Amino acid sequence: MVHHSSVKVDPETQHACSCPILPLKSHIRGPAPSAEAGSTDIIDEAINFFRANVLFRKFEVKGSADKLLVYLTLYINMALKRIEACKTEADGVKAIINLGLEKFPIPGEPGFPLGGLFTAPQTKEEGDLLRNYFKQVREETSGRLMEKVYRRNGTPNKWWLAFAKRKFMNIMMPL
């Protein structure tokens, strides 16, 4: 059974391109509001549900938080593909940092894999807000993912890297 997000989106939550700007437990600067320290945010859910959700070819979006969950699942898959080729943790960290620095498409731009899920930005400000939010979410996800993919002794965790070969919803984000 596919796992959906349990994050509740308030009617007052800001949206950009039909994506909710959800609170994050993050030290990275960006447009996301701060979440409570002991709470579970969308990044925690994406990482925790990744290995189960990536096995499915279909995912019924039941709420706006599920849209971000789908995006993060695809991003985690892309990050694992990058890490998979790295021999050491230092190489993996370098690959993830480089991934975070790369320019990525947002809805309405060529190469965005989830065009039907998100709407194109109506204004430049909306597009900038979404790009900055996605950047913050991607950087925070990368940091938390590294803790799972590499053990404390620096060796890769094969139970995570094995999922780099899977395609979620038969979609692969461009490397």
Residues 16 and 121: beta-carbon distance below 8 Å? yes
| Within-domain flag for 32 | no
**Structural domain of residue 46, as residue ranges?**
38-165
Band of residue 174 on the pLDDT scale cut at 50, 70, 90: low
Length of the chain: 175
| Within-domain flag for 106 | yes
| Within-domain flag for 16 | no
| Within-domain flag for 25 | no
| Within-domain flag for 23 | no
Count the domains in the chain.
1
Q: Give residue for tokens 């996800």.
A: 141
Residues 65 and 52: beta-carbon distance below 8 Å? no
CATH number for position 63: 1.10.1760.10
Residues 32 and 133: beta-carbon distance below 8 Å? yes
| Within-domain flag for 74 | yes
| Within-domain flag for 15 | no
Between 27-31, 65-69, 97-101, 108-112, the lowest mean confidence (pLDDT) is in 97-101
Residue 70 has what pLDDT? 93
**pLDDT tens column, 60-78:** 899 899 999 999 999 999 9
